[in-house]
Amino acid sequence: MADYSATPFVGKTFGVTLDKLNKSFDRLAVLKNVSLEVRPGEIFVIMGPSGSGKSVLLKHVAGLEQPTSGRVLIGDHDASDPKTRERVHLALVFQAGALFNSLTAYDNLALYPREHRLCNEAGIRERVMRALQILSLEKAADKFPGELSGGMRKRVAIARALVMEPELLLYDEPTSELDPVMSATIAEIIATMRDHTAVTSIVVSHDRDLALGIADRMAVLMDGRIRAIGKPAEFRQTTDPAIANFLNPTIDLKHPRFRQLENDYE
Ligand SMILES: Nc1ncnc2c1ncn2[C@@H]1O[C@H](COP(=O)(O)OP(=O)(O)OP(=O)(O)O)[C@@H](O)[C@H]1O
Ligand SMILES: [Mg+2]
């Protein structure tokens, strides 16, 4: 088979700007005055506790949620404007993968280029095989999602995003439910994808090793607010106890956290 892995995709790269973004659902304020700038070509990781608003933030970049106030720009384009999706090739790798179970891995990948008539079947085959090869999935091409392990399904979901030749790649928890080795593999894949494509990548994750290992810069979101933004090295040396505790939680059987929670309710 031809070696496609050396052929870089060429596309535009976009920066992403969140400018005083606020989002409430009814009375629940989920994002509170979030401002940050993701530079073109950067891998930017957003960490934060469960429920802190990470997925909601990412959906704003993807144009799937509208801000209550403030705005999100992709380059100069407003993310909430439907026309932006025509101007920016954006791919979102969902938290749960979201593959079609009745289609093989190959057909899952071929779906988008077929539906959008991006090229003829030979061209589609080249794109799909290139993506499968980058993710070491050639042998999974004819398998249905139900026949694949969780880790392989995650890789197929990433390969499907790659086939869209994105200029902006958004990942929601790409390593959740994976073993440590597979998580490290996915982190390497995200870094490799960026090296192949120079694509701007925003990764939402709980995975400290992934963040510290591949982020150019990262942010920690707590209770809907940005608690800190910086390079991984700066987070390793943080003096903020909330961030230190989030990145390096210790198991303290003498003072267990759930007892603390009980006290909070009293
Ligand atoms: N469509 C919605 N309607 C109402 N509330 C929502 C909606 N989407 C999210 N929320 C609420 O917003 C808050 C943040 O949710 P979000 O999914 O962004 O958390 P998260 O940081 O991604 O958590 P996790 O790490 O568990 O995935 C939660 O309280 C959630 O219940
Ligand atoms: Mg989430």
Q: Over its length of 266 residues, how does the chain's per-residue pLDDT go in tens digits?
A: 444 444 444 567 899 999 999 999 998 999 999 999 999 999 999 999 999 999 999 999 999 999 999 999 999 999 999 999 888 888 888 766 688 999 999 999 999 888 877 788 888 999 899 889 888 888 999 999 999 888 888 889 988 988 888 889 999 998 887 788 888 888 998 898 788 778 899 999 989 999 999 999 999 999 999 999 999 999 999 999 999 989 987 777 887 777 766 665 55
pLDDT at 261: 64
Q: Which helix (DSSP H) or strand (DSSP E) does residue 23 occupy?
A: strand 16-25
Kindly state whether residue 142 falls inside one of the protein's structural domains.
no
Kindly state whether residue 102 falls inside one of the protein's structural domains.
no
- Residue 75 phi, psi (nearest 5): 60, -125
Report the CATH number at residue 225. 3.40.50.300
Kindly state whether residue 179 falls inside one of the protein's structural domains.
yes
Residue to probe by mutation, ligand 1, list 56, 66, 177, most atoms within 8 Å of CB: 56
Kindly state whether residue 52 falls inside one of the protein's structural domains.
yes
Distance 195 CA to ligand 2 centre (A): 26
pLDDT at 263: 60
Kindly state whether residue 37 falls inside one of the protein's structural domains.
yes
Residue 192 domain boundaries? 16-89+166-265
Q: Which two structure tokens, joined as six digits, stand for 194?
A: 């960026």
Distance 32 CA to ligand 2 centre (A): 17
Q: How many domains does the chain have?
A: 1
Best CA proximity match to 91, nearest among 130, 63, 126, 129: 63
Q: Which residues pair with 180 in a beta bridge?
A: none
For tokens 């956290």, what's the residue? 257
Residue to probe by mutation, ligand 1, list 21, 22, 25, most atoms within 8 Å of CB: 25
Kindly state whether residue 175 falls inside one of the protein's structural domains.
yes
3-state secondary structure of 26: coil
pLDDT at 1: 44
Residues, CB-to-ion distance under 5 Å, ligand 2: 55
In the structure, which protein residues have their CB atom closer than 6 angstroms to any atom of ligand 1? 25, 28, 30, 48, 50-56
Residue to probe by mutation, ligand 1, list 18, 28, 34, 55, most atoms within 8 Å of CB: 55
**Residue of the CA atom closest to atom 18 of ligand 1:** 53
pLDDT at 135: 80
Kindly state whether residue 141 falls inside one of the protein's structural domains.
no
Kindly state whether residue 253 falls inside one of the protein's structural domains.
yes
CA distances 102 to 75, 106, 135, 209, 260, Å, are: 37, 12, 21, 34, 47
